[in-house]
Amino acid sequence: MMKNLIMIGVASSLLAACSSNKVAVMDTAPPYSGVDKKVYDYKTKLANEQVDKMPEWYTKIPEDEESIYAVGTAVSPDLQLSNDIAILLAKRTLADRINGELRSQTKSFMSKIGTDANSSVLNEIETVTSNLIADVDVAGYRVKESEVVVNGTEYRMYVLLEYSSAEATKILMNRLKREKQLLSKISALNAFKELDNKVNEKNESEQKELKTIVETITTEG
């Protein structure tokens, strides 16, 4: 297991350095490297091949207002292990990005209610949401894309995770609704109603989607 983790760390460092560009090839091996020119050229060729095999969605992560994305990669002689670790690494990145989305939505919410609420209410909201951001959970993500590259006896797995921005809104709203005293102070504010409507629309959309899936399965059956 330790050997696998070391391999993953080394390979991840190589990929981070490569990004979507080819590895620069020098006419000769660096004089300070102590590496034979043929060995140097061979390793450079291998590195370029690894870059060429990267999925486009890994080097150019999708961006849209509806979703939050994160990628991960891992290499191991065991296919399942490479998949599990790639997802784990992607989830760590996803958690950071969800935090960023929550901060953004909280800032926007507080800005909208700023003129309708006193400073004590704003302080309460800030306290509640700061605890929420610290304990963010990435449950609800889905694997949008995955691709495995076989390299000799090893498997390199690439994964792309997707998380709905509306889910982040639901997390924020559910947390606010748990604070009964705070809720009584903000429930009548337009900014809160707007946020609540956004969550309700998301729930209705999910129900319609589920109904369509059930009807399709029933018809095909």
pLDDT for 154 equals 92
**Residue 98 CA neighbour count, 13 Å, CB half:** 28
Q: How far is CA 91 from the centre of its chain?
A: 6
Which residues does the chain have with pLDDT short of 70?
A: 1-35, 42, 45-49, 115-116, 131-136, 202-203, 205-207, 209-215, 218, 220-221
Domain segments of the chain: what residues? 53-220
pLDDT for 196 equals 78
Q: What letter represents residue 93's amino acid?
A: T
Q: In what order do the strands lie in the sheet with 67-76?
A: 67-76, 154-164, 142-151
pLDDT for 72 equals 96
Answer yes or no: are the C-beta atoms of 145 and 162 closer than 8 Å: no
Answer yes or no: are the C-beta atoms of 152 and 141 closer than 8 Å: no
Q: Rounded to an integer, what distance in angstroms lies between the CA atom of residue 207 and that of residue 169?
A: 17
